[in-house]
Amino acid sequence: MTLNSPLASPRATLDKLAKWGITTRKALGQHFLIDDGVVGKIIRLAKLQPEDLVLEVGPGIGTLTEALLLKGVRVLAIEKDQRLLAVLDDIKLRYPQSFDFLVADALDVTAYGKKMELEHTKLIANLPYAVAATIVLDYFQHMGTIQSATVMVQKEVAARMAAKPGSKDYGAYSVKLQLIAEPQGSFQVSQTCFLPPPRVDSSVIRLDRRNDKIEPEEIPGTFRVIEAAFAERRKTIRNSMRSQFALQGYDLSSIDILFESTGIPSSVRAESLSPDSFLVLGRALGSIEALPV
């Protein structure tokens, strides 16, 4: 049987770690994937195309990296742990035309804009769980060439990414992300598929960019509405927004104008409104002079 990745097994991973004298760092959220079947499912869910440039955050010892390169796509990896330099150099030596890497903090997304040379860029990664939600939203927001993200995240984070209005997982983050990207599929991954096993359950989810919704210039105002609406979830959206805008010095009389002009009910809670409704409110916010943008 052909392997998706030569490193996706406990023995191969332990041998690789021993070869380079590497131990896992809990502070960096390092849990190495050791299940080749899961690697294959990630590859299939990502729907790779020959022209793709894959952006991989946290390649580790290259388990997923090797599988991607064997599929013939280009990979740009971002790794924070400088102990892995020798491992990444070795991969680059073997795939000089299709692999490159940056040793940097993946949260500093502005550093990578010049590397995004292809239109068909995909984020595919086993993300550090502590920063996974931030990375996915920020990369979609600030890297216009990213067309999809297929990422391993904590199960609860995946639930927030795909949550529907009215569900317990639906919140400000869900709305912000779903205005930019749309969930397209997911699957759960057992703790036993990692070395060392994490203490949380994991999921892989794919999100595709939406090109029919929010424009970059609409994001600040719309995100401000979303944050204010969900700040006090037990209140109606009107009262939560009034409380938050009051702290920022807004003219509160314009809150009612905002709802009247859009026809969106102000007596409901934020969790009952769709992402599209928040986009309507965000656009209206930009047109009301009494509410500075």
Query: Which domains, from first to last, does the chain contain?
Result: 10-209 (3.40.50.150), 216-287 (1.10.8.100)
Which of 117, 137, 33 shows the shortest CA–CA distance to 75?
117
> H-type helices in the chain, by residue range?
10-20, 36-46, 63-70, 85-94, 132-142, 155-162, 172-180, 219-230, 237-247, 253-262, 275-287
Question: Digits of tens for pLDDT over the chain (293 positions)?
Answer: 678 999 999 999 999 989 888 876 655 557 899 999 999 999 999 999 998 999 999 999 999 999 999 999 999 999 988 888 999 999 999 999 999 998 888 888 665 555 555 566 999 999 988 899 999 999 999 888 899 999 999 999 999 999 999 999 999 999 999 999 999 999 999 999 999 888 899 999 999 999 888 988 899 889 999 999 999 999 999 999 999 888 877 777 778 888 999 999 999 999 999 999 999 999 998 776 444 44
CA–CA dist 220, 242 (Å, integer): 18
